[in-house]
Amino acid sequence: MGLRDILTGRHSVQGPAPDRLFAITTAYVTLASEHQIESRGSAAIVFQALATSEFETTLRETEEVVSATGGESGTKVSSQNDSYGYRWMVLKNPEASGSVEDLAVGINAVSGSIETAGYGERLLCAVFAFAAKDEKIYFIYNYKRGYWYPFVPAAGEQQQSTERELQIKAQMASELPMEPEVERWFPLWGIPI
Amino acid sequence: MPARHESFGKDTGLQARMALTLFLLGLVYVVFVGVLIAAGAAAVTVVVVALVLLLVQLFSSDKVALATMGVKEVSPAEEPELHGVIERLCVQANLPKPRVCVMETQMPNAFAMGRSRKSTTVCATRALLDLLSPAELEGVMGHELTHVINRDVMVMTLASFFATLAALIAQFALFFGGGFGGGYGRNNEEEEGIMLVLLVSVIVYAISFLLLRALSRYREFAADRGSAVLTGRPSALASALLKLSGTMERVPSQDLRKAEGMSAFFIIPARTKKSLMNIFADHPPLEQRLAALERLESQLQGTA
């Protein structure tokens, strides 16, 4: 943001950063083999749903396309609103193992068609669901930044295990492009997967 | 699929008015500095004093204000909804997370403080959290975060530097009978010089006061607009503004008086008396803000 923008109080919402979404398709192998963190076979993408008929049409078409192409791997698509008024599109794969590639392709198809329609600045995050035994672990991809970070919810309302997240960062830093500023590891509450 | 251009058009009118205001302020200040230099070297002392004051103001005003207003920082566990709304807005606006505070008062309002993106505090009052729906709260917080993105505290403090200086000089000149001209062997020429500086200071102060108020109003419009663009929901902010202004009128005036000094920072002005004229107000009239948001909603819906 330049001096001129500051003086005139003008700013525009940033669009997506260069895409590093597919880093997860190689990282999940290490996660499973070395750290016993397994995919739960689902992923989701969260964005601001504009209340316009044009945007809803885009979403409907996207959902149809992803359902059609995901048919071979059995990926199911659904969408829902959360309590903050954001829209989630959820992709679920019946077989948990080896599905991360399919999920990443599906998520990329959703973000791709939202971007092509000119709504790229509405994309927030993509979330991939993992677990180590009973512990839920999420890997969140921030579209504005093009970085990943782990999110481990803990027992209690809006509690997270920062210690576990930092451990995972240390384990995976060489494989996933991690968000360098830890204060930008925003927890996402109300993840539907 | 046809590629769209932008959900929201540009508001060139607003930017032009803001640029013009800044230009006029600059012009007034250049003349002022010119007269100061012409008046003599003693004026330099006053400038240095004012500079120090400016720095103090820039680096401590937020802390002082927060301390005197009885604001309390809250954790995510205490205020899950407020934190959730702000976290998502920060992702969307690509901002680091600010400190989140709550002020226990019956007046529904919100403000943001801090001179940069890294040291920011956003504050909502208890009544605001009780009154608004999550989408409306998001609109209000988007407005406050846009003030942060636009660095409004910094811009307004810097812009008012010379107005503060002019006020200082005028006071100096009045109290000490133009003593800052200095020296015993004062003659008529020097007397005239001092009178001229005093006169110019008063004029500079008067003009820059009005220009600063205008600038403040334009920055409010820009923040409303920024919030609408950020959240994609202009009508949610409009609805929040309507609710807030409706409730503000019923707030006990004791609470209002306590907060009056902070009025410029609030989303809705806290004032016991209505301003006589719009040119003295630091916030634009509600109808104009609603009309601007309505235009944005029509642009979004593609009907404008």
Is it the case that residue B179 has pLDDT exceeding 60? no
Tokens linked to B67: 């301390």
Residue of B nearest to A155 (CA): B77
Is it the case that residue B229 has pLDDT exceeding 60? yes
Reported as a single tens digit per residue, the pLDDT across B63-87 is 776 777 778 888 888 888 899 999 9
CA distances in angstroms from B145 to B124, B154, B290, listed in the order given: 12, 14, 19
| CA separation for the pair A161, B238 (Å, rounded) | 38
B80/A116 touch (CB, cutoff 8 Å), yes or no: no
The pLDDT assigned to A148 comes to 94
Is B294 in the active site? Answer: no
The pLDDT assigned to B16 comes to 78
Is the model more confident about B267 or about B205? B205
B229/A12 touch (CB, cutoff 8 Å), yes or no: yes
Task: For residue B269, give the DSSP letter.
Answer: -
Q: Is A3 on the interface with B (CB under 8 A)?
A: no
What number is the ipTM of this complex? 0.84
Amino acid found at B135: A
Task: Tell me which of A43-57, A98-112, B143-157, B176-190 is least confident.
Answer: B176-190
Is it the case that residue B192 has pLDDT exceeding 50? yes
Is it the case that residue B184 has pLDDT exceeding 70? no
Instruction: Say what percent of chain B tops pLDDT 70.
Output: 77
Please give, rounded to a whole number of angstroms, the shortest distance from the CA of B258 to a CA of chain A: 29
| CA separation for the pair B111, B101 (Å, rounded) | 10
Say if residues B102 and B124 touch (Cβ distance below 8 Å).
yes
Q: Does this model's pTM top 0.90?
A: no
Closest CA to B110 of B98, B120, B122: B122
Closest CA to A177 of A144, A149, A139: A149
What mean pLDDT comes out for the span B7-23?
75
C-beta neighbour count of A22 within 10 angstroms: 14
* Residue in A6, A84, A141 to test binding to B, most B beta-carbons within 10 Å: A84
| Residues contacting residue B274 through CB under 8 Å, at least 6 positions apart | none
User: Ranked by mean pLDDT, which of A115-129, B9-23, B203-217 comes out on top?
Assistant: A115-129
Reported as a single tens digit per residue, the pLDDT across B249-260 is 666 666 656 665
Q: Which of B18, B92, B96 sits opposite A13 (nearest CB)?
A: B92
* Residue in A1, A5, A7 to test binding to B, most B beta-carbons within 10 Å: A7
CATH number of A13-173: 3.30.70.1130
* A147-174 per-residue burial string, b: 16 or more CB within 10 A, e: under 16: bbbbbbbeeeebebbeebbeebbebbee
| CA separation for the pair B82, A113 (Å, rounded) | 31
The pLDDT assigned to B163 comes to 80
Is it the case that residue B186 has pLDDT exceeding 60? no
The pLDDT assigned to B25 comes to 80
What are the residue ranges spanned by the domains of chain A? 13-173
* B126-142 per-residue burial string, b: 16 or more CB within 10 A, e: under 16: ebbeebbebbbbbbbbb
Reported as a single tens digit per residue, the pLDDT across B136-170 is 999 999 999 998 888 887 788 788 877 877 877 77
Closest CA to B279 of B211, B222, B223: B211
User: Which residues in chain A have their CB less than 8 angstroms from residue B84's CB?
Assistant: 84, 158, 189-190
Reported as a single tens digit per residue, the pLDDT across A46-92 is 999 898 998 999 999 988 888 887 767 778 889 999 888 899 999 98
Q: List the beta bridge partners of residue B174.
A: none
A186/B91 touch (CB, cutoff 8 Å), yes or no: yes
Residue A193: pLDDT band (50, 70, 90) is confident
Closest CA to B13 of B157, B208, B225, B160: B225
User: Which residues in chain B have their CB less than 8 angstroms from residue A48's CB?
Assistant: 92, 231-233
CA distances in angstroms from A144 to A147, A169, B118, B155, B263, listed in the order given: 8, 20, 18, 26, 34
Reported as a single tens digit per residue, the pLDDT across A12-43 is 777 777 788 999 988 988 888 889 898 898 99
Q: For all residues of chain A together, what is the average pLDDT? A: 87
The pLDDT assigned to B181 comes to 46
Q: Is B80 on the interface with A (CB under 8 A)?
A: yes
Q: For all residues of chain B together, what is the average pLDDT? A: 78
* Residue in B5, B7, B133, B233 to test binding to A, most A beta-carbons within 10 Å: B7
Please give, rounded to a whole number of angstroms, the shortest distance from the CA of A34 to a CA of chain B: 31
Interface of B with A in 108-137 (CB under 8 A): 134-135
